[in-house]
Chain A
Amino acid sequence: MRERGEILGLKRKDLLTLQELGAEEILHILDTAASFKEVVQRPIKKVPALRGKTVVNLFFEPSTRTRTSFELAAKRLSADVVNFTAGSSSLVKGESLLDTVRNIEAMNVHTIIMRHSCSGAVHLVARHCRVGVVNAGDGTHAHPTQGLLDLFTIREVKKSFAGLTVTLVGDITHSRVARSNIHGLLALGAKVRVVGPATLIPKSIAQLGVEIHYRLEEAIAGADVINILRIQLERQDGQYFPSAREYAHLYGVNARRLKLAKPDVLIMHPGPMNRGIEISPRVADGPNSVILNQVTNGVAVRMAVLYLLSGGESDENPD
């Protein structure tokens, strides 16, 4: 689809966080994703960029949509994809994470896409492996491709980040999506607000230059983008907030509250949604919602990441 050497690969082996990327690298990924989005809208949604390469989806935490999105991205780049999930592995037999990964590496794979419930688990693997590691979510730390696809979706509509106000709603403390969004948005010049119950917002986040709010109405007033995080009811045990009912009452984004934001506000949600709790169905399905665009863009963004990390080497392969 493009001339050899036109796109420079990323000068890194792994993608672990957005914090480690500068604005230039982020924009480079978004630009590349834009060309891949064009590819996936063609009748034949496939390019030979990673032909002959093997990508392993190594998921130590259950996931359907992110894993599928990565799998589609790799397949549309013509890579071979292997899915490895914790339940079917030797992990239950007490093998250490590094031993598991070293075994997979020994089978000569090119890229490991990894999700793990421990923050920093991907860093451990990246430090001990020669193959590239793409973080598909580590604990409550980072989810860089989600951050990138959110940025991509915002840029698609708003064109630029300067002067934008983006409000993140929900459990900031335990959200890797929030952290990745914050690093990316700040690097690109947007203003970021976070809002949620005081029990779920770390005060030290203000040191990053993020505005902290506890009243939803204040936090969404004049906002250009509202990114609504999933409330993980299974993680709460009545300590952080009293009930889903009270959460919806205080922090649920509904049509009435939406009027406080800019008329062209974008509504985003990383999914899966708790309709009627953090987001009302009318808002989720309304004209401001770009929630399904996020999902579509996710594949293009992940294609860009896999392609750029591989440095476009496969183009040199004559067959």
Chain B
Amino acid sequence: MKTLIKGGRILDPATGHDAIGDLWIQDGKIESITPPGAKAPQTKDHVISAAGLAVAPGLVDMHVHLREPGAEYKETIASGTRAAAAGGITSVACMPNTDPPIDNLAMVELVLSKAKYQGVVNVYPVACVTRGREGKVLTEMGELKAAGVVAVSDDGDPVSSPALMRCALQYAGMLDLLMINHAEDKGLSGKGVAHAGFQSMLLGLSGIPRSALEVMIARDLILAEETGSRIHVPHVSTEGGVRMIREAKARGVLVTAETAPHYLVLTDDSLQGYDTNVRVNPPLAEQKDQEALLAGLRDGTIDAIATDHAPHSRREKEMEFALAAPGICGLETSLSLILTALVETKILTLLQAVQCMSFNPARILKIPKGTLKPGADADVVVFNPQAERVIRASAFLSQADNTPFDGWKVKGEVVMTLVGGRSVFENNEHTKAIHPA
């Protein structure tokens, strides 16, 4: 038995394919892409009608907080992977700032085992650079890599010692393990809770200057260049960050970078009213930063769009702004926000957007995802890029029911998500349309 996704606009950034066609799936793998109607299905085949819909490789989100173990009241591997599936995301890299942190083999195995039995999408653990995320002793990266870890990062606690970072880059580089370092100099950001600018001044919120982020990016780029190791800069949010990464790439430094949807659609203007749903780290910056990020996406300086999905319970958001937990949920809004703000506006083509959200992050993580080439795992998202919908936090599959985008009218609706050829999410409103009698 085969599955046929019939008559959709098939996008494969790995090959540049963007045309109407039929996608054939067998035994959990992509079998082929054929011209529309070229090959008739057998009666036993499962046919999904994708007329008017886009068919793309399942999205790969390389920056997700699943919160398990330790903060299961915010999110679990079960709820987080279901939220991912609802957002068209079929692979997530999960961050190690759990409690206890993912810094040893047992923790990696725990996450992988929970993902296998309770999750619905592929989960790729990111492990700590240092034990306990304390910035002192390296983790056993050799063993962690063998267990399935795709990258190392101390997440919100950047490796502050330059000497240790230099060694970590050399060691991870030797193992061909990706280094991700949260770019923030904590000495400079201090007690800051918002981008240091006109808005934070008006609101009396302690500012985080650009230099707090950019000093760390500069240091990491210099160390990556010297060691010849790969460095990935997560959630780039400022103009200076984009500029430095562009220059480093031109010099041949092995750097890759991601930004998050919220930096592309919000600025620090949204701080007015002290909405804690826009409290995020790094903080939302200014118009000129947003423009630089968009330019960076267009010219390839920024490789990937990742959500930095950071779910928090209502209790941690209905608080004084400075005391509220920083973080925005992204899994269920990312695709729509990018389609609305970047594709509709022709900043990126649909194929480029899909590339930044699937093929590129898969390439950075060196995982065999983000493509519809024959033989690849049948991780597929079927979505309607034109459908209008209203974002409702209350309808999230994520345990978190807060987002700055609640009530936003956006374009783009996920119709169906498949992982290894198996449906893991189906939008009920479309069931009739895609399963013709």
Find out whether the CB atom of A120 lies under 8 angstroms from the CB atom of B205: yes
Find out whether the CB atom of A204 lies under 8 angstroms from the CB atom of B322: no
Least Cβ distance of A213 to chain B in Å? Answer: 17
> Is A8 in contact with chain B by the CB < 8 A criterion?
no
Find out whether the CB atom of A123 lies under 8 angstroms from the CB atom of B198: no
Q: Given A119-B274, A204-B197, is A96 in contact with B318 using a C-beta cutoff of 8 Å?
A: yes
Binding site of B, secondary structure by majority: helix, strand, loop or mixed? loop
Find out whether the CB atom of A139 lies under 8 angstroms from the CB atom of B322: yes
Bound-state CA distance A173–B207 (Å) is 10
Interface residues on chain A, number (Cβ under 8 Å): 24
> Is B367 in contact with chain A by the CB < 8 A criterion?
no
Q: Given A119-B322, A207-B198, is A140 in contact with B273 using a C-beta cutoff of 8 Å?
A: no
CB-based nearest B residue for A175: B204
Interface residues on chain B, number (Cβ under 8 Å): 19
Q: Which of B197, B205, B207, B320 contacts A124 (CB 8 A)?
A: B320
Binding site of A, secondary structure by majority: helix, strand, loop or mixed? mixed
User: Which residues of A161-188 are within 8 A (CB) of B?
Assistant: 173, 176, 179
User: Which residues of B209-261 are within 8 A (CB) of A?
Assistant: none
Find out whether the CB atom of B204 lies under 8 angstroms from the CB atom of A96: no
Find out whether the CB atom of B319 lies under 8 angstroms from the CB atom of A96: yes
Chain A proximity mask over B191-209: 1 for CB below 8 Å, otherwise 0: 0000011100111111100
Least Cβ distance of B238 to chain A in Å? Answer: 16
Chain B proximity mask over A104-139: 1 for CB below 8 Å, otherwise 0: 000000000000101111011000100000000011
Q: Which of B196, B201, B315, B320 contacts A118 (CB 8 A)?
A: B320
Least Cβ distance of B275 to chain A in Å? Answer: 9
Find out whether the CB atom of B198 lies under 8 angstroms from the CB atom of A138: no
Q: Which of A19, A116, A139, A202 contacts B201 (CB 8 A)?
A: A202
> Is B425 in contact with chain A by the CB < 8 A criterion?
no
Find out whether the CB atom of B204 lies under 8 angstroms from the CB atom of A116: no
> Is A98 in contact with chain B by the CB < 8 A criterion?
yes
Bound-state CA distance A176–B320 (Å) is 17
Least Cβ distance of B204 to chain A in Å? Answer: 3
> Is B174 in contact with chain A by the CB < 8 A criterion?
no
Q: Which residues of B contact A179 (CB under 8 A)?
A: 202, 204
Q: Which residues of B contact A202 (CB under 8 A)?
A: 196, 201, 207
Question: Which residues of A line the B interface, CB within 8 A?
Answer: 19, 96-98, 116, 118-121, 123-124, 128, 138-142, 173, 176, 179, 202, 204-205, 207
Q: A118-B322, A120-B321, A140-B205 are in contact. List 9 more A-B contacts (CB 8 A).
A: A98-B319, A119-B322, A120-B203, A123-B274, A138-B204, A139-B204, A176-B204, A202-B196, A202-B207
Task: Pull 23 A–B residue pairs with CB atoms less than 8 Å apart, ordered by A.
Answer: A19-B202, A98-B319, A116-B320, A118-B320, A118-B321, A118-B323, A119-B274, A119-B321, A120-B203, A120-B204, A121-B321, A123-B273, A124-B320, A139-B204, A139-B322, A140-B205, A141-B205, A179-B202, A202-B196, A202-B201, A204-B198, A204-B201, A205-B201
